[in-house]
Structure 1
């Protein structure tokens, strides 16, 4: 059984002393305000309207759907209610961009360990988005081969196929 990707409606839950369904009537994107109020012990009022023309990209980060605020804060979000407002800086509601096929994206990371489940939208210019893995791998392979060749080493061969000088040194 696979561990599902965490969404706002399963992350932002009432305190243990309250019934789990106590927040069921609160839209998932607004639950972060109730959750933060309880944990930070300060009153937070969700904004009244949307900021037109602003959007953020949702991504999977360590098995959680998250989105970043312009201030650098982030929160767990959900495709069931694709909007967010910041509990830190007070930024009003902004639209979130999720992939067209959320289930397919979640399925694409399901085979990984939860802490390795990361996904970015193709259009997301995020600062922490890794370079294409294939490009990095090819560059690393080329660098290792070049360095090994300069040192007279054979790379990627079984020990018995190493150069005689290396075999002699390893005895």
Structure 2
């Protein structure tokens, strides 16, 4: 059975017993899990954003080595989930911004499973300005000068 593409709710988990309840985060939105995980796992206090930053471009989700990632303007990244399309940064404190996933997440994840090695599973949103694989338009042939050639 192939390894599924990793989402935030499968990666950012609460502390194991006896320190914690394994179901303590079951009702927590996926985008907020990273903040709690950073706090307990790295012992670093983080502040969960309380509002959406207006008039900023969205963050485009991508798959990098079999993980859904969101990249911050500061250069940090975290694992994200299509179940909660928000992105906030634990490094610089960048508040909630829209997180854009493909229209058909299941199809993209199914395509990733066709590559047997999880570390080779990579995908970029076609509208992401950071996408290094943006298709280039085919060059148009130059029109012939009027009157023929000399």
Alignment TM-score, normalising by the size of structure 2: 0.82
The equivalent of 1:115 in structure 2 is: 119
Runs (4+) off by over 3 Å? none
Q: Which runs of 5+ in 2 are unaligned?
A: 136-150
Please state which structure has a larger fraction of its residues in helix. 1
Q: 1:60 aligns with which of 60, 63, 70?
A: 63
The equivalent of 1:15 in structure 2 is: 15
User: More displaced, 109-118 or 15-24?
Assistant: 15-24
- Asked if residue 5 in structure 1 is aligned to residue 5 in structure 2, the reply is yes
CA change 1:96–1:131 in 2 (3 A) is closer
Alignment TM-score, normalising by the size of structure 1: 0.73
Q: 1:49 aligns with which of 37, 48, 51?
A: 51
Tell me the C-alpha RMSD between the 2 structures. 1.6
Distance, in Å, in 2 between the alignment partners of 1:40 and 1:88 is 12
Larger Rg: 1
Answer 1 or 2: higher relative contact order, Cα 8 Å, separation at least 6. Answer: 2
Q: 2:40 aligns with which of 33, 38, 41?
A: 38
